[in-house]
A and B are shown apart, each in its own frame.
Chain A
Amino acid sequence: MVEFKAERVLTRFGELSNKGKNRKLFVKQLIANLKAQLSAYPEVKYKNHFDRIMVELNGAPEDKVIDLMRHVFGIRSISPVVLCDADMDTITQVCLHLMQKEEACTFKVMTNRKDKHLPYSSDALNRSVATAILLNTEHKVDVHKPELKIKIDVDMEKAAISTRVVEGAGGFPIGVGGKALLLLSGGIDSPVAAYHIMRRGVEVECIHFAAPPYTTIQALDKVKQLAEILTAYQAKLKLHIVPFTDIQMEIYKQAGPDYGVILMRRSMMRIAEVIAENNKCLALVTGENLGQVASQTLQSMHAIEADVDMLMLRPLLSLEKNEIIDQAKKIGTYETSILPYEDCCTIFKVSNPVTKPKLKIVRLEEAKCDLQDKEEIALANIETFVFPSIEENYL
């Protein structure tokens, strides 16, 4: 049997279709993001119609393109479109072929004749297609609430047929909402936080605090792997690695161990704030979750952010741990996150951290430490990586 391949992919917008004057900008950004994510297929072309983008494959593989598009934010759904000659027999055959690949379901045929000179009526075509499918497959007709709609747009020359609807990632195109700096730890939560922020149209840059030789190169590699995975959603991702060992050692030497974690988090925020400003990021994002661990009580969060002069976002604040794990699995970061390497938060763990810190005491404890120089040195020694890393020539 002849294989009918899609030549176009119809792309429907997510929330941005009701965004008034900004729509034009949003669509422009979406097309730019699609191009970046599909850069391996320069033959693909993008045509902007009023409420949708038509992606012309020009020979690019349908399945691979759709798989990449599924992760691009700002898209509600995508449908591969098969083109064929406009005669009734061919259209019927193509529709039957497409439906044979679908699991048994209820369907409805919807023809839209763009040229009323066609030698058949919409109804005649609907019936021809439906009859062929009913005779040759297990599918059933339901004109009121069909599970699958066969849409046929036909003029004198060509018919455009679509059956399959692939759910898109939703949200807004990355970039329309500015940029934010995410603290990427290597655990389960922070990559999920990145996903949530990206989905709202905000570009994410990442910062990671490493404490070698206490933290291993495997732990750092895990963070890089997570950044690489996140490029499925954001085509290009920057990761700043901050050498944090000296700061951490100073805190544990000078301040009481109970306040260690809070002071460490405060120092991280100070450094992150500088990096954010240097890189035009408008907010700091963490994977913090209310009540999960000692540093994530309301008191702790307040103590951590009290001296930060920047918007702090905690998209996972009120989620259950299980919900976060499910989402991590869905976005593909879970398996990497649970690799057993210690990060800088877990390495200096104390048995009884303070869970209800008083800001006054926190500031006093912090004053005992000589952190300013060390933070400046750390900032001067940041290493920045860009993902995806360049295609390795050994592959």
Chain B
Amino acid sequence: MHTNNPIYFDHASSTPVHPDIIKGLTELTTAHYANSESLHQAGLDIQTMMRKSREAIAVMLKVKSDDLYFTSGATESNNLLIKGIAFAYQNKGKHLITTRVEHSSVLDSFQDLESFFGFEVTYLNVDQEGRVRLEELETALRPDTTLVSIMAVNNEVGTIMPIEACAQIIRSKSQAVFHVDCVQALTKIEFNYDLVDCASFSAHKINGVKGSGLLYKKDRVLYHPLITGGQQEKGIRPGTPNAVHHILMAKTIRLAFEQATAKHAQVLEIKHYLLDAFKSMESIVVNSPLHGCSDYILNISCLKVPSQIMLNWLSSHQIYVSAMATCLNRDVRPSHVLEAMGIDGGRLNGVIRISIGYVNNLEDAKRLLEVMEEGIKKYGRI
């Protein structure tokens, strides 16, 4: 069966904006253009809506609304938290810990601290499934460790990290602040935010708008502002707030939770269908772990076709997947995540990430397989 509609399997990169959010965006942008910091009624109205959005998010995430700050996205949240916390505690210690498989906005923040600000960073290895080893974390912790950052769900392979166990170790063995990049976890896995000290979120990964993010930081965690110039967001993120985006963040998260419940079976069905098919194909190796993995992410390697060629082939059929983490697509470097998992050779060159969203159905999965098989036949090295 051929269809002319594009098939989108790249939801870990970005997602279609929910129609209710588009509607809200149009309505709010038209009606509420005042500065949320202005003291008149128009300003107060916007401030009230931002407050209610923050409170609604706090209820959904089971955190305090005072601990939530709006940002322009997870890259900003990660940068602000990692650098802002490292700077705030630098008189206590300059040792930091993260993993080899973090998103580039986390890794580059640490590398920046290492290269230009005299911090020492331990990069934790991961096992074959991309999971951090608890013993290694425990050994890495030192009296001068001030910050540990470990992602909740890996964006490339979908591995769920043992965050609860990490939190326990960090709490019992050190004084370090625990930051978690929750971009791929939000609404998609159960997560107890109370266990961690701070976290980063993004709206556009859960059918919200781009340029909209969230930062969670418990009150007792010290912070040195990276951006200065005003008291907006209590000085953590100064600058006139992108109020409409912030107001819609609550609705974005609510709708995502609702979709996650209503469409979970459908997502699982697609994932299992693809997984079963890939397991039976001899030129395909599954890189995502079979257990403890996000239901939304499936990472494979095609041993016979390099990933860029497969991506282009699928793209010419209007089927959209990722070859590596999108933020690195322009690099020629192979995936740092799969390298850290010990994957090499042809398997490293043929990496494809399929990430499932709520618009997908089983027909999409069938079509993807069909075109992939065709591509392997046509371009596969024997």
Q: Does residue A306 face the partner (Cβ distance < 8 Å to B)?
A: no
B274-307 contacts to A, CB under 8 A, are none
Decide if A394 touches B28 in the complex (CB within 8 Å): yes
- Which residues of the partner chain B approach A394 to less than 8 Å between Cβ atoms? 24, 27-28, 49, 53, 247-248, 250-251
Q: Does residue A395 face the partner (Cβ distance < 8 Å to B)?
A: yes
Q: How far is the CA of A392 from the CA of B41 in the complex (A)?
A: 17
Q: Does residue B48 face the partner (Cβ distance < 8 Å to A)?
A: yes
- Which residues of the partner chain B approach A216 to less than 8 Å between Cβ atoms? 39
Given contacts A394-B49, A394-B247, contact A217 B254 (CB under 8 A): no
- Which residues of the partner chain A approach B48 to less than 8 Å between Cβ atoms? 221
- Which residues of the partner chain A approach B44 to less than 8 Å between Cβ atoms? 217-218, 221
Decide if B49 touches A392 in the complex (CB within 8 Å): yes
- Which residues of the partner chain B approach A221 to less than 8 Å between Cβ atoms? 44, 48
Q: Does residue B220 face the partner (Cβ distance < 8 Å to A)?
A: no
Decide if A395 touches B254 in the complex (CB within 8 Å): yes
- Which residues of the partner chain B approach A217 to less than 8 Å between Cβ atoms? 39-41, 44
Main secondary structure, interface of A, reads loop
Count of chain B residues near A, Cβ 8 A: 17
Please give the distance in Å from A233's CB to the nearest CB on chain B.
Answer: 18
Q: Does residue B272 face the partner (Cβ distance < 8 Å to A)?
A: no
Q: Does residue B52 face the partner (Cβ distance < 8 Å to A)?
A: yes
A343-395 contacts to B, CB under 8 A, are 392, 394-395
Please give the distance in Å from B43's CB to the nearest CB on chain A.
Answer: 9
Decide if A218 touches B39 in the complex (CB within 8 Å): yes
For B175-207 the 0/1 string (1 means CB < 8 A from A) is 000000000000000000000000000000000
Closest B residue to A224 by beta carbon equals: B48
Give the interface size class of chain A: under 10
- Which residues of the partner chain A approach B251 to less than 8 Å between Cβ atoms? 394-395
Q: Does residue B17 face the partner (Cβ distance < 8 Å to A)?
A: no
For A152-165 the 0/1 string (1 means CB < 8 A from B) is 00000000000000
Please give the distance in Å from B90's CB to the nearest CB on chain A.
Answer: 31
Decide if B41 touches A395 in the complex (CB within 8 Å): no
- Which residues of the partner chain A approach B134 to less than 8 Å between Cβ atoms? none
- Which residues of the partner chain B approach A395 to less than 8 Å between Cβ atoms? 52-53, 56, 250-251, 254
For B10-35 the 0/1 string (1 means CB < 8 A from A) is 00000000000000100110000000
Closest B residue to A335 by beta carbon equals: B66
Q: How far is the CA of A216 from the CA of B47 in the complex (A)?
A: 15
B230-252 contacts to A, CB under 8 A, are 247-248, 250-251
Q: How far is the CA of A218 from the CA of B56 in the complex (A)?
A: 21
Closest A residue to B254 by beta carbon equals: A395
B27-80 contacts to A, CB under 8 A, are 27-28, 39-41, 44, 48-49, 52-53, 56
Q: How far is the CA of A218 from the CA of B44 in the complex (A)?
A: 7
Please give the distance in Å from A212's CB to the nearest CB on chain B.
Answer: 11
Q: How far is the CA of A368 from the CA of B41 in the complex (A)?
A: 36
Closest A residue to B27 by beta carbon equals: A394
Q: How far is the CA of A394 from the CA of B40 in the complex (A)?
A: 21
A188-237 contacts to B, CB under 8 A, are 216-218, 221
Closest B residue to A220 by beta carbon equals: B44
Which of B's residues lie within 8 Å of A, judged by CB?
24, 27-28, 39-41, 44, 48-49, 52-53, 56, 247-248, 250-251, 254
The 3 residue pairs across chains A and B that have the minimum distance between CB atoms:
A395-B250, A395-B56, A217-B44
Known: A394-B27, A395-B56, A395-B251. 19 other contacts (CB 8 A): A216-B39, A217-B39, A217-B44, A218-B39, A218-B44, A221-B44, A221-B48, A392-B49, A394-B24, A394-B28, A394-B49, A394-B53, A394-B247, A394-B248, A394-B250, A394-B251, A395-B52, A395-B250, A395-B254
